[in-house]
Amino acid sequence: MNEEDIPIIEMEDILKTKEIADMTGLAQSTVRKYAQELEKAGYTFKKDETGRYYTKEDLVIFTQLKEVRDKAGIKVEHAADVVVTQYKRTTQSMSPAETTTEMESQAIQLQHTMQYIQKLEEALQQQQDMISKLEGRLERQEKRQDLRDESLTQVLREVAETKKMLAASKEKKWYEFWK
């Protein structure tokens, strides 16, 4: 391998696991786990003899992975597949300089999508609350109907009993009426 084959990366462009963790709000162990899942999904990190090192582009990938994971509530493996697939689609037709800008715009687009999902979840929660209220009203109405039915049944029994008493009194002779 010639020196010409080695990509030139400025020291300020190299990020360590701790820096990625601080910038994304993840634990260092989570950054390592996410890196492993991203590699399984087909994403490649730059490496040297000490291990992985990260670039600003990798920071965008980690941020997207975290957002997808948090907002969609899916497993890390699935979120990594989604992010890597999206990354591969955008980088196939772009130059390296365009990649970072496109990734940033995709991150913004993803953020808007996540906000939309959050609004949908809020609307769903409101609908569920309304359904709960309506179920409560329905239960109260059914109880009132049951009480009304019981009262009506009792009144009908009393009317039937009164009719029986009237019929029995009519059967008595007129002279037995006072007895």
Distance (Å, rounded) from C-alpha 129 to C-alpha 120? 14
Q: Residue 12 — very low, low, confident or very high, per pLDDT cuts 50/70/90?
A: low
In this predicted model, what pLDDT tens digit does every residue of 99-108 receive, in sequence order? 566 667 777 7
**Global pTM value:** 0.47
What is the b/e burial string over 39-77, where b = at least 16 CB atoms within 10 angstroms of the residue's CB? eebebeeeeeeeebbbbebbbbbbbbbbbbbebeeeebe
What are the domain boundaries of the chain? 3-123, 128-176
**Which residues neighbour 39 within 8 Å (Cβ) at sequence distance 6 or greater?**
45
In CATH terms, the fold of domain 3-123 is Multidrug-efflux Transporter Regulator; Chain: A; Domain 2 (1.10.1660)
In this predicted model, what pLDDT tens digit does every residue of 118-162 receive, in sequence order? 888 899 899 999 999 999 999 999 999 999 999 999 999 999 999
